């Protein structure tokens, strides 16, 4: 009973925080209209690609998505003005952005794994964008959709369906096959494309001396690995290898467009300097893919890792996927680490061509 009460209290707490954010943002937008930024007014006659809902928090997976989104747009479409609107500024800047829009402009929504009821505030802001800019082409960068089967999950899915289906200018992109099928089922096949996570459009490979083992484990709601197992595995690794580093793709730091690349290079250099990375994070696996780093990746609580691996990365022989149900003991993992260290003849499979459908779609957006 105590566990149920704690879960209920947690849901109420987050619901109140969500309401507080939406309410304050609404006051700023409707009543006060506090936004002295003249950026959009100055470029209203230029063609714009605006990425909205980018993060300021320290999740380096989300930050890598924002970095890749910017690079993807600026490198593939050099006749445009690129602009970024952080999650916190979406509602605040809405009026000024809308006034600046012209034919040919495109609004992009930050990609990731938050289309669902687990990160509900993210979904609520995405709904606002889809509803408020319904006369402008909107493209949601590659996402995982994951609404729970609970009463709340079904209720929130229906809210999302109502808003998304009412926007004829919306394109969704699924980053793995289960999300692709789910999105087609709920929103219609014409509204959905299928590409990898946008971070897989990056190439961060370099010749770097590699030494030791790096672990990168999560400690949140998405974890599937047993905490005791992780602790025992790290202890065994430290007994066998001289250098074992413990890292994470989440840091306690505010990250903006100004310091994003610097912080990403820190984690990428850590990964590139390791012989083997052991992780249960999707972007831990993806960072290994874009740096050509041997990797052992464990399944997480939902489908995003296993599907991303099977859809896009299984032909990269330096990435080893392990279902948590198949783990016998830590010795099994140590044995795989040894096999990887003794075999450096890896096969690599590129992902850049998988983004051609998105490039083609953007190129066909009418400018006049």
Q: Are residues 171 and 266 in the same domain?
A: no
Question: Can you give the length of the chain in residues?
Answer: 368
CATH code of 94's domain? 3.40.50
Q: Are residues 297 and 238 in the same domain?
A: yes
Cβ neighbours of residue 187 under 8 Å, at least 6 residues apart? 161, 164, 165, 172
Residue-level pLDDT at 12? 52
- Residue 356 CA to residue 214 CA, distance in Å, equals 34
Q: Are residues 172 and 60 in the same domain?
A: yes
Bridge partners for 170 per DSSP = 138
Is the Cα dihedral 142, 39, 42, 71 positive or negative? negative
Domain interval for residue 126: 35-196+354-363
| Interval 83-119: pLDDT, tens | 999 999 999 999 999 999 999 999 999 999 999 999 9
Q: Are residues 333 and 221 in the same domain?
A: yes
Residue-level pLDDT at 39? 80
Residue-level pLDDT at 4? 47
Residue-level pLDDT at 32? 46
List the one residue out of 46, 64, 183 whose CA is nearest residue 101: 46
Could you list the mean pLDDT of each consecutive 10-residue stretch along the chain, which spans 368 residues?
Answer: 48 51 52 62 90 97 98 94 96 94 96 94 97 97 96 97 97 97 97 97 92 90 79 95 94 95 97 96 96 93 90 94 86 93 76 91 85
Residue-level pLDDT at 1? 46
Q: Are residues 46 and 178 in the same domain?
A: yes
Residue-level pLDDT at 242? 94
Residue-level pLDDT at 18? 52
| Interval 205-250: pLDDT, tens | 988 899 999 999 987 766 778 888 999 999 999 999 999 999 999 9
**112 in any annotated domain:** yes
Number of domains in the chain: 2
**201 in any annotated domain:** no
Sheet architecture: strand order including 244-247:
244-247, 213-216, 276-279, 295-298, 319-322
pTM of the model: 0.89
**302 in any annotated domain:** yes
Residue-level pLDDT at 221? 67
**18 in any annotated domain:** no
Q: Are residues 276 and 335 in the same domain?
A: yes
């Amino acid at each position: 009973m105590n566990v149920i009460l704690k879960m209920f209290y947690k849901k109420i707490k987050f619901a109140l925080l969500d309401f507080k954010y939406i309410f304050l943002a609404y006051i700023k937008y409707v009543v006060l209209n506090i936004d002295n930024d003249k950026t959009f007014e100055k470029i209203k006659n230029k063609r714009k690609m605006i990425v909205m809902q980018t993060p300021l928090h320290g999740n380096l997976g989300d930050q890598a998505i924002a970095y890749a989104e910017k690079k993807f747009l600026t490198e593939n479409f050099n006749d445009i003005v690129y602009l970024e609107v952080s999650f916190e500024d979406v509602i605040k800047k809405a009026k000024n952005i809308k006034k600046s829009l012209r034919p040919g402009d495109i609004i992009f929504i930050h990609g990731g794994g938050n289309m669902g009821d687990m990160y509900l505030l993210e979904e609520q802001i995405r709904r606002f964008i889809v509803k408020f800019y319904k006369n402008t082409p909107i493209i949601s960068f590659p996402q995982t959709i994951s609404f729970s089967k609970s009463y709340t999950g079904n209720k929130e899915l229906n809210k999302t369906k109502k808003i998304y289906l009412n926007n004829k200018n919306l394109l969704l992109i699924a980053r793995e096959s289960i999300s692709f099928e789910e999105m087609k089922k709920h929103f219609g096949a014409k509204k959905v494309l299928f590409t990898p996570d946008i971070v897989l459009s990056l190439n961060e490979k370099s010749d770097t001396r590699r030494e030791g083992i790096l672990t990168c484990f999560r400690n949140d709601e998405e974890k599937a690995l047993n905490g005791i197992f992780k602790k025992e595995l790290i202890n065994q690794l430290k007994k066998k290898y001289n250098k074992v580093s413990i890292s994470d793709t989440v840091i306690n730091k505010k990250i903006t467009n100004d310091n994003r690349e610097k912080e990403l290079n820190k984690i990428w250099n850590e990964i590139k300097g390791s012989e083997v990375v052991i992780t249960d994070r999707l972007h831990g696996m993806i960072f290994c893919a874009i740096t050509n780093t041997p990797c052992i990746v464990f399944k997480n609580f939902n489908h995003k890792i296993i599907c991303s691996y099977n859809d896009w990365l299984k032909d990269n022989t330096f990435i080893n996927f392990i279902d948590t149900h198949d783990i016998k003991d830590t010795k099994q993992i140590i044995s795989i680490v040894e096999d990887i260290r003794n075999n450096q003849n890896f096969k690599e499979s590129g992902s850049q061509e998988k983004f051609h459908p998105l490039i083609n779609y953007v190129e066909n957006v009418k400018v006049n």
